[in-house]
Amino acid sequence: MEYTLATMNDLPAIKALLARYHKDTISQEDIAGGFVTTKLSDQQFEDLIVNRKGVTLAKDENGTVKAFALAAGWDYWMQVPIMKRMTEVLPDMPFEGTALDETNTYQYGPVCVDVSVRGTGVFEGIFKASLKQFEDQYPVMVTFINQINGRSYAAHTKKAHMTEIGTFDFNNNHYWMMAIKTR
Ligand SMILES: CC(C)(COP(=O)(O)OP(=O)(O)OC[C@H]1O[C@@H](n2cnc3c(N)ncnc32)[C@H](O)[C@@H]1OP(=O)(O)O)[C@@H](O)C(=O)NCCC(=O)NCCS
């Protein structure tokens, strides 16, 4: 598996993977393996890919996109309502003695790993590659996980070694807030 930054040529494959695991379009069969709720327009994807270098991919030996992880600073994510909410609650959730805010953290996620390569180490690989991409810019990465997404929570705590630093509610859903040092 190759871990690489996305270019605009990858956008159709990224959108197809996102659609497969998005709560609005996921199949009954796939839903137990987790789902994502974030939607981005083509213009927002272009900004993330081209200007922010915020889309990390896992590609197999045929060049097929098998996973993506999105990440960016809060100035980018402020346009997504749940992320704006995260910036409001973050100051109440210190991590390892450090107060977190919009300057010392960035937001990773959503992440999607195709069902054909789940449990094979691709999740750990893309997680590490995405974290490395931002380590020079921010000391701490944070993300959110829906409390009904047990698979994602297990992956992010057991495989990615993230720490739960608090909980918050948004749109009648309950979320865990997770953090990890980038180095
Ligand atoms: C979440 C996701 C990225 C994790 O990647 P993955 O390759 O499935 O992760 P892994 O299989 O390495 O690890 C998941 C662990 O959770 C366990 N697990 C599976 N279903 C579970 C459940 N319902 N509750 C708790 N643990 C569960 C697995 O057994 C595995 O642990 P193990 O290796 O010790 O057996 C991937 O499943 C995915 O893309 N899901 C759809 C989209 C999504 O939910 N994205 C995250 C949004 S926050």
CATH number at residue 33: 3.40.630.30
At position 19, the amino acid (one-letter code) is A
- The atom of ligand 1 lying closest to the CA of 122 is 7
Q: Give the structural domain span for 97.
A: 2-181
- The atom of ligand 1 lying closest to the CA of 152 is 1
**Residue 149 and residue 31 in contact, taking contact as beta carbons nearer than 8 Å:** no
Predicted confidence at residue 55, as pLDDT, reads 98
For the chain, the domain total comes to: 1
**Nearest Cα residue to atom 33 of ligand 1:** 119
Residue 20 CB-density burial (10 A; 0-12 exposed, 13-18 middle, 19+ buried): middle
Predicted confidence at residue 92, as pLDDT, reads 96
Q: Which of 146, 151, 176 to mutate to test the pocket of ligand 1 (most atoms within 8 A of CB)?
A: 151
**Residue 179 and residue 165 in contact, taking contact as beta carbons nearer than 8 Å:** yes
20 CB near ligand 1 (under 6 Å): no
**Residue 72 and residue 54 in contact, taking contact as beta carbons nearer than 8 Å:** yes
At position 138, the amino acid (one-letter code) is Y
Gap from CA of 51 to ligand 1 centroid (Å) = 30
Average pLDDT score, the chain: 97
Instruction: Give per-residue pLDDT as tens, 5-30.
Output: 999 999 999 999 999 999 999 999 99
Predicted confidence at residue 129, as pLDDT, reads 98
